[in-house]
Chains A and B, each alone.
Chain A
Amino acid sequence: SQQGEEDPQALSIQEGENATMNCSYKTSINNLQWYRQNSGRGLVHLILIRSNEREKHSGRLRVTLDTSKKSSSLLITASRAADTASYFCATERGYSTLTFGKGTMLLVSP
């Protein structure tokens, strides 16, 4: 069963705007990761946040984690057309395996 669930399922914005995607999960985790998938390609790792961290930044990406609410958010600032992709959250519970959500499709229009 899917551990993570992303919200919204689809998001359409203009270049330069910020994009926020949310992820909720059900059980305790060791860490949560976000991946990007361009159409027809494999997934690419974006960022990892550990269960004892609350916020993490990487370039234009900002991830937050609230373990009390079992939720995470991914913020992409100043979006570009090249950010158009599907974004997945994935949780690791300590057995080296990840459980993925269904993803958010982001469309950034020029």
Chain B
Amino acid sequence: NAGVTQTPKFRVLKTGQSMTLLCAQDMNHEYMYWYRQDPGMGLRLIHYSVGEGTTAKGEVPDGYNVSRLKKQNFLLGLESAAPSQTSVYFCASSYRNLRGLHEQYFGPGTRLTVT
């Protein structure tokens, strides 16, 4: 099992360009998440999904859109990139175990620079 994978690993964008980050998981998890991590900060939740076809806003959703058309994939889109979106982006997935608890499984991250 590959677990959680992210593509691309690195990307440089110019201000105003758009791009889509892809997250894929092969663990049949219901829940998926997108975070950003900035220097000296913990992870901040951008958007999340509790199942195929559903999405919800997290702590810092502005400037991002997401889609969960297939259970195994969670896409993060930047319609018009800004330098403030320079960050490392992490995707994660989880499932609710028999005790109703979640632990999240993380991908390796995508390093995005917006110039």
**Chain A residues close to B by CB (< 8 Å):** 1-2, 4, 31, 33, 35, 40-45, 48, 50, 88, 92, 96-103
Contact = CB atoms under 8 A, between A and B. Distances in A.
Contact of A43 (B40, B59, B94, B106): B106
Given A42-B90, A42-B106, A50 B45 contact: no
Contacts of B31: 96
A41 B94 contact: no
Contacts of B59: 1, 99
Task: Name the prevailing secondary structure of the A interface residues.
Answer: strand
Given A42-B90, A48-B101, A99 B45 contact: yes
Interface residues of B, number: 27
Given A42-B108, A96-B94, A48 B42 contact: no
Interface of B: 4, 31, 33, 35, 40-45, 48, 50, 58-59, 90, 92, 94, 96, 101-109
A102 B45 CA distance: 13
Given A48-B101, A98-B45, 14 more contacts: A2-B42, A31-B101, A35-B104, A41-B108, A42-B4, A42-B92, A42-B108, A44-B106, A45-B103, A88-B43, A96-B31, A96-B48, A98-B104, A102-B42
